Structure 1
Amino acid sequence: ASILEQREGELIRFRWHRDHDQHACFEFVIHHSELTGGKSLEIIDYITPDEAEDTEHFWNNLIGRLRLSLGVPE
C-alpha cells in the first residue's frame, strides 16, 4: 500500500497498489479523549457495496489478531 496522507499521532491514509480505483482507500484515525485520557482507533475503509461482507471479515480478523497480540479482551 502507498501512504496518501499522514498526520503524526492522528491519521494515516493508504491506497492498495492493486486497487485501480483512485478513490478506494483506507485510513486509521486515532481519537484522544480529553475526558478519560484514553485513545481509540477508528478504521475507515472506502469500498463498494459488493465488497462489504469480505471487507468486514478481513478487518475483523486483523483486529482480532491485534487484540490478541496486545492482550486486550474481546
Structure 2
Amino acid sequence: MLVHSAQALAEQCAPAPSSTVLAATGTPSVAEAAALLSAGPGAVLVVGKRKSPRATCAIARQIHKTPVPTAL
C-alpha cells in the first residue's frame, strides 16, 4: 500500500476535483490524485473516480514509451 500526504495529493492535477473532499481532507482530489501519484510520472487515468456509499476509487497506469514485450 502506498500513502501520500494531503500536500502531495493537492499538487497532483486531477480531472474531477471536489469541494467536499477539499473541505474534509485539505486536498481537492484523493482517489484520482493517489492513483496518478502511485502509478508514477506520465501516468494516465484508466478509470476515473468511482464513488459508492463506503468507498471511492480510481485506476491509473503508467504509459510506456517503448512497447512492452508480449509472450509468444
**Structures share fold, TM-score greater than 0.5:** no
Give me the TM-score of the superposition, normalised by structure 1. 0.28
Which structure has more relative contact order (CA 8 Å, sep 6+)? It is: 2
> Quick check: which one's strand share is greater?
1
| TM, length-normalised to structure 2 | 0.28
